[in-house]
Structure 1
Amino acid sequence: MTPRILTLALLSTVIALVGLGYLSIKQARLQAESASWVAHTHEVVGQLQSLVASVTQAESSLRGYAITRDERLLEGFEPSRARARRALEGATKLTGDNPEQQRRLAALSPKLERRLDLLKEGADSAQAGAPASVSREGQNLTRAIIADVEEILAYERALLTERTTATEQQVTRMVLLSFGTSALTCGIVVSSLLLLRRELRRRREAEASLSSLIELGEHLQTCRTLDEAYDVVQTVLGRDEAAGAIALTTASRNVVEVRARWGEAPAGASEVFEPSDCLALRRGQTYGSTNGDVRCKHIGKDFDGGSLCIPLAAQGELTGVLQLTRTSAFSNEDKRGAAVLAEQLGVAIGNLVLRETLRNQSIRDPLTGLFNRRYTEETLEREIRRAARAQESIAILALDVDHFKRFNDTFGHDGGDAVLKAIAESLRGRTRGGDVVSRLGGEELAVILPGADLDVATSRAESIRAAVSELEVKQSGRPLGKVTISIGLSLFPKHGASGEELMRSADTALYAAKRGGRDRVCVAE
């Protein structure tokens, strides 16, 4: 009886071991398949978001050229159109086994080609000297392209979730079967469960990373300023295990500054560093390190975890670096996801920098950096409507440099420019964040003081006048002499109900100050 029992026990053990071996092989295949689908979805998402970003960048380049006629802004135009086509081809190739996605991409293709053709026609027209115009068809096509891409991404996410759920269900059934094995195989079962649990956690982390990547891309497309983009990055990426930072090169290209940071920064991490301190920027490619490896200097010499630096690029130029750190090393899959993230950030930041540059060129006086006449007039009308609703007052200061012609005649236009710059700097130091300081033209300046009553406005005007009279302006080390200004003051609604009336009243008061001997403040009657 005993031999038979031993034989049955041995047979049971062999069967259990064979069964466990089969389960292990099946689990490994399922894990590899799941990882492959996550990586596949990463690639599809990257191609489609690159498509949208490339179209947006081409539009920004064309708008910038139409406004400024700066040929440099068209350098990235054709590469952006080419990237959009390559992105569509890449997405089509990646989804070749999915008829549903192929149908959607086939519907997207003519829209993209038409949009790219319209952009090319617009560029040719702008280079021929035609005035800037906005094509309604082009706007509608861009919105249609974004909507199609969002539909394709939503389907891809749903497909990934469906496949992951099916895989997890199969794995769960296998785990339940493994509990029925004999005590002889408990150690193997426990080990398999631990490995499986770790793999499921890694898979969920990969899915969470993919979701964060998609969410970040969608938010970045709606950002209007760099600060808004930094807030979005800190909020979305701050949920991940890895800490990180975005550092951008300055205009001089010899300094890199951290603009946004999330998570706990490594001890000794630099907020400002030279490009040569980052091996990724020095090599122009991703650089990762762990304990014992050569590490970027800006990470911090005492940090003993894993670090990853990925260059940020826009229009073919390196603009900064994405820095990621955590306690463990970064896997190849982590590096691929970080590369997609860096590409998104580089394009988004490049577009926002271009947008802010174009906006500043359209509303700022190039000599003084103050707002120009058009921006001032639009802002004044807007502030008047707000003040009327809130039943508040607004003060307008009209400023004029006394004897300005004398500076130009004696010291040349460079001397006059130096006087205007010095006065502009003085005004910036004596106004609040909500005030609007502008150069209307020549030596004429203006200050809008929202919410200021007559007493406050008069006091502020006297303070500005006195500060200017104390300026010691020099040009190439040569003193230019005493500088004074005359100021005319008008108040809403007392001296006018519209921006035009207020400016006219302030100008009349300014002329009175001139007639009264200059270097004084006069209030409109």
Structure 2
Amino acid sequence: MTGSLSRRIVVLCATICLFLAILAGLLLEGAAQTRSSLAWVTHSTQVMRTANQALLHLQQAESGERGFLLTRQPDFGETVQDEVAASRKAAADLVTLTSDNPAQSLRAKQIRLLIHQRATLLEEIAQQASNGDFTTALNAVASRRGRNLMQHVNARVGDLLAAERHLSTSRTAAVKRRLDFITWVVLIGVPLGIAAVTLLAALLVRRIRRPMEAMMTVMSQLAAGDRSARIQTAMESSEFERLAREYNAMADQLQAAVAHQEESQDRLHAANAELSRNTEILQERGEVIELLGGMAHRMQAARTDEELAAIIRVFAPRVLPDLPGALYTHNNSRNLLAPLACWGGLEVPASGFAPEQCWALRRGRSHHVAGPQSDVVCAHVDRQVDCYHCEPLLAGGEVIGVLYLAGEVEAETRFRLTVLAENIASALVNHRLQRGLREQTIRDPLTGLFNRRYMEEALPLEIARASRSRDPVSLVMCDVDHFKRFNDEFGHDAGDAVLQAAAAEMRKRFREGDVVCRFGGEEFTIIAPGTSATALSGRVDVVREAISQQVVQEGGRTLGSMTMSFGIATWEEGMERDGSTLIKAADAALYRAKREGRNRVVVDERSAAIIDGGGGAKAG
């Protein structure tokens, strides 16, 4: 019965790990003991060095004492003090170092006591000599007490050093034994481990090599073209048996697949051809989308119909080559499709056509005529045209325009046409929205006149143009006389009706190039380019007269007549170019008109004429 190769590998790895763990444990334990023994050897060395230092300092203190008594120089007395202190410190350190060994600790304490006694005697003799009592000091030295103490110190130090040397020798021997043990463990354990691992690995390789050779042989036969080759050799493990079964199953499937290879290749060639065609189509569409993207960006940035038409004339022939065409846009106020742009040499009537004349707009979908009598022809198309295409441009069910193409749109061009129509429709809607928003920002919602913001933008431009061309530009400031009376008597709706009536009359009476604005409240301004104040005053007086003859109606009520006062000024060099000085001059003229009786025109000049309601002129 075959066993599991994975289990054998696990057993082998576990055996190797166990052997390595035992070997590592023995080595770590020997290393730890060796480290401990070496630490004790080092400790013994430190104990011996400290004992020698204590004895040496004490001997140097004795030498300093003798030098002091013989030479009577104070320097030797200072040496005695320093060496005695060092000897005492070394003795105290010796007691601390030997605290782990009772016998040695006892010897260290005896040494410390003897050193203390000898040091005290040395200090007393040195003090006597320092006081000048050298006789007493010499007698103390001659008493031999110090020599006896020194002999005891030498004896105790010798005993301690002998005992410590014995300990150091035994500890060094222990270190050597442990190192020998580690050496034998390495010399014996490692070769045994290597031999065991090699043996187990050889057995494992043998169990792997046989199945692998059998499998490689069958694979070589399969590679050579023998698709009937199968693995029949008994495997050495359950894993290889499973691999052999899977391989045989794979070979069976491969043999079945080869039988259908030619059919698969035919299908692959067909799919490849289809993929190539789709790739070309996608590439072409990508180029079209990129081109339309550039067109869309430019159309979004267009501010006027002329700019929009120029963009379409440039890009439409590139998107739809060899297809002349025209773009019609819907004029809501006239309910008419007017031509905006033509390309490809096509010319269409500028008059345009009504929406019901185009079958594409009627049906809300594309309408094309491929040849004579092939379909009904739109009324806006020349009867001699045999082939054309109309693409409606719609947004939210509302007619935006129509795209007319003089020719047949092929199937592969349909995508280009659809995307082009969507982009143009989107651009037209955006253009219409921008124009509407622009009108909202510059128009007064009540009167429909330009607002003050537009006036403040337009006046500096007209002044700059007049400064360059040396032509005059004048400004009229006017307001409704006694406007508060209409609001107080009839309400604010009546006041709005008065303002609307005055605005309608001024819009009708002034020239198309004049800019009529509502300045605020009941005040109005008119920018009149190319006209001086004197020349303008007659035309303004006609407006004043027409307004005074109106009878204002509101909600079925008769509000009565109204009058307006006017002030006129002409810009001159030296005035501010932003128009502020001109506005003040016209406003001052208006104020004079109010002050002098209202319902009149005042020209802000040195010899201005005041034209009142009766037509008489007075000096202003």
With the shorter chain as reference, the TM-score category is: 0.5 to 0.7
Q: How far has the Cα of 1:293 moved from its partner?
A: 4.1
Who is 2:388 aligned against? 307
1:445 matches 2:524:
yes
Kindly tell me: are residues 251 and 387 of structure 1, through their superposed partners in 2, closer, same or farther at Cα, counting changes over 3 Å? closer
Residue 376 of structure 1, aligned match among 430, 455, 462: 455
- 1:341-375 deviations in whole A, cap 9, x for unaligned? 21221121122112112222212111122111122
- How far has the Cα of 1:259 moved from its partner? 4.3
Distance 1:305 1:33 in 2: 37
Change (3 A) 1:249 1:381: closer
Q: CA deviation at 1:486?
A: 0.7
Q: Which residue of 2 aligns with 1:244?
A: 326
Q: Tell me the equivalent position of 1:467.
A: 546
Mean Cα deviation higher: 515-524 or 374-383: 374-383
Shift of 1:425: 2.7
Deviations 1:154-213 (A, max 9, x none): xxxxxxxxxxxxxxxxxxxxxxxxxxxxxxxxxxxxxxxxxxxxxxxxxxxxxxxxxxxx
Following the alignment from structure 1 to structure 2, what is the Cα–Cα distance between the partners of residues 427 and 416? 17
Indicate the SS of the match to 1:513: helix
Amino acid at match of 1:306: C
User: Is 1:418–1:473's contact at 8 Å kept on the other side of the alignment?
Assistant: yes
Matches within 5 A, 1:67-106: none
| Alignment of 1:43 onto 2:124 | no
In structure 2, relative to structure 1, the CA distance for the partners of 1:382 and 1:258 (3 Å cut) is closer
Residue matched to 2:49? none
**Please, which of 410, 415, 423 is the counterpart of residue 331 of structure 1?**
410
- The question of whether the paired residues in 2 share the 8 Å contact of 1:250 and 1:256 is answered with yes
In structure 2, the residue matched to 1:519 is: 599
Instruction: Indicate conservation of the 8 Å contact 1:256/1:272, yes or no.
Output: yes
Q: Does 1:271 align with 2:513?
A: no
**Mapping of residues 9-88 of structure 1, within 5 Å:** 40-48=282-290
Looking at structure 2, the residues matched to 266 and 491 of structure 1 have their Cα atoms a distance apart, in angstroms, of 46
SS at match of 1:271: coil
| Matched residue SS, 1:519 | coil
TM-score, normalization by structure 2: 0.46
- TM-score for the superposition, normalised by structure 1: 0.53
Matching residue within 412, 420, 440 for 2:491: 412
Look up the match of 2:566.
487
Matches within 5 A, 1:105-254: 217=296, 219-233=298-312, 241-248=323-330, 250=332
Aligned twin of 2:369? 289
CA distance in 1, matches of 2:340, 2:464: 36
- Map of 2:58 onto structure 1: none
Cα displacement string for residues 309-346 of structure 1 (whole angstroms, at most 9, x for unaligned residues): 223245x55442323243x5332234333222212211
Give structure 1 stretches of 5+ with no counterpart: 1-31, 53-213
CA displacement, residues 103-133 of structure 1 (integer Å, 9 cap, x when unaligned): xxxxxxxxxxxxxxxxxxxxxxxxxxxxxxx
Task: Tell me which residue corresponds to 2:262.
Answer: none
Question: Matches of residues 386-401 of structure 1 in structure 2 within 5 Å?
Answer: 386-401=465-480
Q: CA deviation at 1:476?
A: 4.9
User: Could you say if the C-alpha distance between residues 309 and 241 of structure 1 is closer, same or farther in structure 2, counting changes exceeding 3 Å?
Assistant: closer
Give the AA of the match of 1:250.
N
For residues 332 and 377 of structure 2, the distance between their equivalents in structure 1, rounded to whole angstroms, comes to 19
Separation in 2 of the partners of 1:235 and 1:486? 53
TM-superposed CA distance for 1:256, in Å, is 4.7
1:457 maps to what in 2? 536
**CA deviation map 1:396-450 (0-9, x unaligned):** 1001012222333444333332332232233223333442211011110001122
Contact 1:305 1:325 in 2 (8 A): no
Distance 1:324 1:47, change over 3 A: same
Contact conserved, 2:442 with 2:454, CA < 8 A, in 1?
yes
> Structure 1 pair 437/400, CA: closer, same or farther in 2 (3 Å)?
same
SS at 2:560 equivalent: coil
Mapped partners of 2:352, 2:423: distance in 1: 23
Q: Which residue is equivalent to 1:10?
A: none
Runs of 4+, deviation exceeding 6 Å: 32-38
| 1:240-280 alpha-carbon deviations (Å, 9 max, x no partner) | 6534231326279xx4532425365679x983424x65443
Distance, in Å, in 1 between the alignment partners of 2:471 and 2:347 is 46
Partner AA of 1:336 in structure 2: F
Distance 1:38 1:359, change over 3 A: farther
Which is further off, 500-509 or 33-42? 33-42
Q: Is 1:226–1:353's contact at 8 Å kept on the other side of the alignment?
A: no
- Tell me by how many angstroms 1:522 deviates: 0.7
**Percent sequence identity over matched residues?**
36
Contact 1:486 1:521 (8 Å CA) reproduced:
yes
Counterpart of 2:137 in structure 1 is none
CA contact (8 A) 1:313 1:347 kept: no
Q: One-letter code of the match for 1:510?
A: L
Is structure 2 residue 430 aligned with structure 1 residue 348?
A: no
Q: 1:135-162 CA deviation, whole Å, 9 max, x = no partner?
A: xxxxxxxxxxxxxxxxxxxxxxxxxxxx
Cα separation, partners in 2 of 1:37 and 1:449, compared to 1, 3 Å: farther
- Aligned letter for 1:521? V
Structure 1 distance, partners of 2:291, 2:314, is: 20
Report the CA distance shift for 1:358/1:501 in structure 2 as closer, same or farther (over 3 A).
same
Gaps (5+ residues) in structure 2?
1-273, 606-620
Letter in 2 for 1:387: A
Amino acid at match of 1:344: N
Residue 142 of structure 1 is matched in structure 2 by none
The 2-side partners of 1:422 and 1:409 are apart by: 18
Amino acid at match of 2:604: A
1:38, distance to aligned residue in structure 2 (A): 7.6
8 A contact 1:496–1:505 mirrored in 2? no
User: Structure 2: how far apart are the matches of 1:467 and 1:495?
Assistant: 35
User: Looking at both structures, which has the greater relative contact order when contacts are Cα pairs under 8 Å and sequence separation is at least 6?
Assistant: 1
Stretch of structure 1 that moved more, 448-457 or 235-244 = 235-244
Alignment-derived partner of residue 257 in structure 1: 337
Q: Distance in 2 between matches of 1:325 and 1:297?
A: 13
In 2 relative to 1, CA 451–251 (structure 1 residues): closer, same or farther, beyond 3 Å?
closer
What letter corresponds to residue 521 of structure 2 in structure 1?
Answer: G
